[in-house]
Structure 1
Amino acid sequence: MIRILIVILLTGTAGIEGQTEIIEGSDKLHLRNSIESEPRQDAGLSEAAYKKVYSYTKNTNAFKDFSYEQMKARILNTSSWVPPAELQKSFPYYHAGYDYEKRPVWVAEIGKFDFRDIVAKGDKSIVEAKRYLFQAVLNGIFSIAAMDTEEQEIKDTFVIFDMEGASIKQLNFLPSWVQFAELFGKYWDLVFQLLGRLVIINANYVTKLATDIARPVVGQLMERVEVYGVNRNVWLPRLLKHMPIEAIPSWYGGKKNFKPISIHG
């Protein structure tokens, strides 16, 4: 289950162009978006960004046979695509800031994601979701590349999963597991390179049970995973050991004027 959750996030959700704002008075992130109806013609990416992505993908089973130019075309095609508005609305995530190691901090309210609905809608929905997922990988890598300097290269990300709202309904739908297994098999080596630390908060009994079952299976990866329940007094101090309070959303105990670096979905 932990492997599946990690694949979901880092092959995760996609960015949109337009104006975004945080609606005041909410204890979670709510966005008002102005979404483009057509794909962008130019993703505005630097050569350094393309090379950063290629430095990861060239070592993976899924992309090892891609030349640099082929991968560059794939990156441009995926980055410039604007997903359906319904898909973006259902799978929001955001770049909250950077930790003390200069790794980008990404947050996703995974517990609210309805993967079952996406799969149940059929092939077209699944294809769009997979493209949407890969776009999130690129967003994550771009945020890593933004902190690279001649003296220091950043290699991975810090991820927070908010599991509030997770239900057994998402776990007992066999077609979803089939799709997740396919994603895992195809992109696992890419995910392993990109995930530096995963902190799961607001874990309920479903999340904790899945974690306990997965623990002996995922082995080394569990060294990067921390799972906490709903008590903020437990997990907030842990987050503050890794990152400044400015990188923590206000609804998780950060400053009231918190604003994400970027919002996707």
Structure 2
Amino acid sequence: MRLQDKVIIITGSCTGIGKAIANRCVAEGARVVIHGLEQELGEAIVASLGSDKAVLHIEEITADEAPQHLVDLALKTFGRLDAVVNNAAMVVSSNTQTTDLSLFRKVMEVNALAPFALIKVALPHLQKRRGCVLNIGSLNAWCGEPNLMAYSVSKGALVTLTRNLGDTLHREAGVRVNQLNPGWVLTEREIQRKHEQGMADDWYEHLPLELAPSGRILCPDEIAAAAVYWLADESGPVSGQIVDLEQYPFIGRNLPKN
């Protein structure tokens, strides 16, 4: 049990990557705070994990008191807090023409400012446990797609936040901060988004090798498996690191010639 008795808050864990991380954490001995906006989905996860292993909080992550509510719930239910996984994110298609300042601010609030707010509230409790933070970013942080402009910028901000806090909090409070940058992942919402964009129901079964050399894209369970290492004590003193998770090198890739 690599996470035996640890208590972990996982934002955005009613679906997708967050849900997979929650399931894997409990399988490794942890207890988790499930968070999201989907009441029924969240209740189903808690029921499957067991009320002694999981508790649910439904609230918009940008609400002023959301970080305090999550931390208080962890302490009230399980008596301690060992780690935070900042996974909740606003994934929205937008480019230069379709992005106004209101949308940009909202994406930044969800994807970059909310993680900082939760870390700040959780920090005194993480310090007591010499705990850690794991931020879930995106490969889009390095430049982004034309139609994921605001999202990509927000994930770039999260990279800098992780590197900054991964240094300062490790030295000042003994709290490690690291980040995973997944590539293309087959979540429930990604399947739905692509369908809404006009793609066939089985679009993920017919991907070009340039995008998926293995013939498929990543699944949430594979991201969850990687997350366990960074939440476990076995990752030792490593902090301030950004780890890309994709099936090809994102920077300096040798694309096949036509």
Q: TM-score, normalised by structure 1?
A: 0.32
Q: TM-score, normalised by structure 2?
A: 0.33
User: Does 1 or 2 have the higher relative contact order (CA < 8 Å, sep 6+)?
Assistant: 1
